[in-house]
Amino acid sequence: MKRTIVVVLLGTIFNLGQTGAVVAKNLSKGLVDTTTIRLDVNPVNNIPHQAHFTSASVATFGLLVKQLAPSAADFPAISTVPGLTFQYNPQLQVFERSSSSLGPVYVERPQTLGMGKFALGVSYLSVSFDELNGKSLDRNVKFRGLGHNDCCLGPPSPNNPAFERDTADLLFEDFELRSHVISFSGTYGITDHWDVNVLVPMVVTSMFLETRQRLNNESGTNTHFFDVATQQRERFTRFDEDKVGVGDIQLRTKYHLYGMGGFNIASGLTLRVPSGDEDNFQGLGDPTLTPFFFARSGIWAVRFSC
């Protein structure tokens, strides 16, 4: 999961960005603005320089984003049945914890609650995205030698005019993307073999990003600057933002097909509603319907979903 959201981050450098601290409506826009190299207007021809530097490596990351971005907000859901149970004692008029456990929180079990029974569950998950393929993103993500696009004098005309030989560097100085997820779950037994469940996640997403951008005057033409008046060729950009919202709500149903001698089989469906904000990495952006199948006996369990 760390790798997935990191790839979403790297894909934003298709457009390289704005100076200083960035104020954004959502985290996705903040990523783009923080990693976009936007140059000052050339006083000679009054032409603004925006998104003039790119490379094949940036394009490769962009393709990965399209494939992996949907799973960026795909947090594991807790089981439809609770890990602990409580029973009401009419003599003492209190709820007492039962002696047995129904299983791990994140592992589904084929058994159902039973007709008329209702279960509530709450889980907390904290995930930090600060590594890519086992390497820290602090100072380890570098895009050097981003080439100038072929913009002038009737392309194709490589390095003509001469300022097209200039390059740019984009370096990640610091990065952290953390998600705190509190999931509320409720399950009701319609029959002894049929359960329905609703899961509502509340997500707090925090992002901090610092980049260093550098322009390389390899052509010697003194054309590209972040600030023409001061002839600034290096700068830092910073983004620090928190977002709170509801994640993708899940509606689940499960039917217990068979149970005998400790061996149990169940099947069901999960409908994921796109209620989470995709731009803040809190939702998938599209509804999904996933069938699943469970089989469990003793200490082993099998789950199939598609």
Please tell me whether the overall predicted TM-score, pTM, comes out greater than 0.75 for this model.
no
Domain span including residue 248: 2-305
CA dist., res. 120 & res. 132, Å (int): 36
Residue 131 CB neighbour total at 10 angstroms? 15
CA dist., res. 54 & res. 147, Å (int): 6
Residue 221: predicted pLDDT: 87
Residue 164: predicted pLDDT: 84
Percent of the chain with pLDDT over 70: 66
**pLDDT (tens digit per residue) in 159-172:** 778 888 888 888 88
* 34 phi, psi to nearest 5 deg: -75, -25
**pLDDT (tens digit per residue) in 193-250:** 999 999 999 999 888 888 888 999 998 888 888 888 888 999 998 889 999 999 999 9
Cα 190 to chain centroid, rounded: 35
Asked whether the predicted pLDDT for residue 148 surpasses 70, the reply is yes
β-pairing verdict for 234-246 and 20-21: parallel
Using DSSP's 3-state secondary structure scheme, residue 297 falls into strand
Number of domains into which the chain is organized = 1
Answer for the pair 50, 38: CB distance below 8 angstroms, yes or no: yes
Q: Which of 20-29, 93-102, 153-162, 220-229 has the highest mean pLDDT?
A: 220-229
Residue 132 CB neighbour total at 10 angstroms? 19
Average per-residue pLDDT for the chain: 75
β-pairing verdict for 300-305 and 288-297: antiparallel
Using DSSP's 3-state secondary structure scheme, residue 61 falls into helix
**pLDDT (tens digit per residue) in 270-298:** 999 999 888 888 888 889 898 988 787 76
Dump the DSSP string for 158-222: TT-SGGGG-EEEEEEEEEEEEEEEEEEEEEEESSSSEEEEEEEEEEEEEEEEEEEEEEE-TTSS-
CA dist., res. 74 & res. 64, Å (int): 17
Residue 242: predicted pLDDT: 92
Give the pair of three-digit tokens for residue 85.
């149970």
User: Residue 134 gets which letter from DSSP?
Assistant: T
Residue 9: predicted pLDDT: 39
44-48, 87-91, 116-120: which has the minimum mean pLDDT? 44-48
CA dist., res. 304 & res. 265, Å (int): 12
Between residues 42 and 178, the one the model is more confident about: 178
Residue 63 burial by Cβ neighbours in a 10 Å radius (0-12, 13-18, 19+): exposed
Confidence of residue 4 (pLDDT cuts 50, 70, 90): very low
**pLDDT (tens digit per residue) in 28-66:** 777 777 777 777 766 555 665 665 776 555 554 444 444
Cα 85 to chain centroid, rounded: 33
CA dist., res. 303 & res. 292, Å (int): 7
Residue 61: predicted pLDDT: 47
If you search the block for the tokens 């082993």, which residue do you land on? 300
CA dist., res. 289 & res. 270, Å (int): 6
Using DSSP's 3-state secondary structure scheme, residue 137 falls into coil
* Across 298-303, average pLDDT: 60
Residue 283: predicted pLDDT: 85
Residue 228: predicted pLDDT: 82
CA dist., res. 66 & res. 126, Å (int): 25
